[in-house]
Structures are given as C-alpha cells and as structure tokens.
A = this chain, B = another copy of it.
Amino acid sequence: MTSPRPSLDATQLGAYFALIEASSLLKHAVEQQLREAGDLSYVQFQLLATLGDSPAGSQRMTDLADGVVYSRSGLTYQAQTLEKRDLVTRTPSSDDERSTTVTITDEGRAVLARVFPGHIAVLDDLLFAPLSRSDVETLADILARARDHMRQTPPRSAAPRRSKKPAGTTDQAR
C-alpha cells in the first residue's frame, strides 16, 4: 500500500482488506465451532439453516444454490453427505421430474438446534462484542447494499470489454 499505485486510496484499501480479513477470521472461527458442536461444515450448516427457515422445510436444489454462494456441484456433494447422515431427504419433485426437492428431517432440526447456541455465542464474542448497536446497524445497511449490487451485477463485468470468444485467443494477457 506504500506502492505508487494510482488506483485505490488508503481508505478503500483499508475497507477491502478489513472486509476480507474479518470475514475470513469469522468464518474460520464459526467453522471450528460447527465442527466441534455438530460435525458440520459451514456450507452444511447454511443448508440446514436455510431449509429450517423454509415454510415446508424443503427447497429445490437450484433455489438452495442461489441462496448460498457455492456451485451446483458442490451443493450436490454436500446434499449427499447430509443425506447419508439422515439430516435431509432428497426426493424428485412431483411437477418436474428433473428437479430434486431437499427436505430437512427431524434429526436435521435437532442437530441445528444443538449447534445454534454455540454459533450465536461465537458471533457475539467475535463479531458483535467490539461493535456498538449503531455500528451493527450501519454495517448491515452498507453491506446489504454492496451485496445486492453484486448479486445483480452481471458476473462477467469483471473484464471490461469482451464479446464472443472466437478462438483460443490468449485472452487479456495485458
């Protein structure tokens, strides 16, 4: 950051690094707690929590994938893992033979309930402890805006201009 880069200013860099570091640290801590308390990975917890929050306790694979940030294949893997442990069931949808409906089981809800208190505790201790009430509100507001913007921004806007991919053009190598 002491480099002569005419791009981001110190504040922006600070925000960026703080965001990445804080989320990484938090995620690691949460992951560890989940592993110890219920032998769950973070994704697995997210899936169970999402399902537990759903009206019927079930969702289509695709809708689940949209809620979480992970890939479809990764979701398949985790869903299978959860199914093996009887925390969810997977059944073909009735109106569309292709889609799979994932449903949380009582056992799944039990694990969720067992893990939740510790999860909250970690968040309180690590994330919320050093923040005031208004800090949290502000944080929620700003990050929600950023998230919403990223969600609706075309995933490919990263590289400025690029249309069709004609051939093995050694893409933008400077």
- Assuming the A-B contacts A53-B3, A142-B135, are A125 and B22 also in contact, with contact meaning beta carbons closer than 8 angstroms in the complex? no
A33 adjacent to B144 (CB under 8 Å) = no
B25 near A172 (CB under 8 angstroms)? no
Is A86 in the interface zone, CB < 8 Å from B? no
A15 & B136 in contact (Cβ 8 Å cutoff):
yes
Instruction: Using A157-B125, A162-B118 as known contacts, say yes or no to A143 and B8 having CB atoms under 8 A apart.
Output: no
Residues of chain B lying within 8 A (CB to CB) of residue A117: 7, 162
Task: Please determine whether B24 and A69 come into contact, CB atoms closer than 8 angstroms.
Answer: yes
Residues of A within 8 A of B (CB): 1-3, 5, 7-8, 11-12, 14-16, 18-29, 32-33, 36-37, 39, 52-53, 69, 113-114, 116-118, 120-131, 135-140, 142-151, 153, 155, 157-162, 166, 169, 171-174
**14 other contacts beyond A8-B120, A18-B144, A114-B166, with CB at 8 A cut-off?**
A12-B128, A14-B144, A15-B136, A16-B127, A19-B139, A21-B69, A22-B150, A25-B151, A29-B158, A36-B172, A126-B153, A127-B146, A130-B149, A138-B142
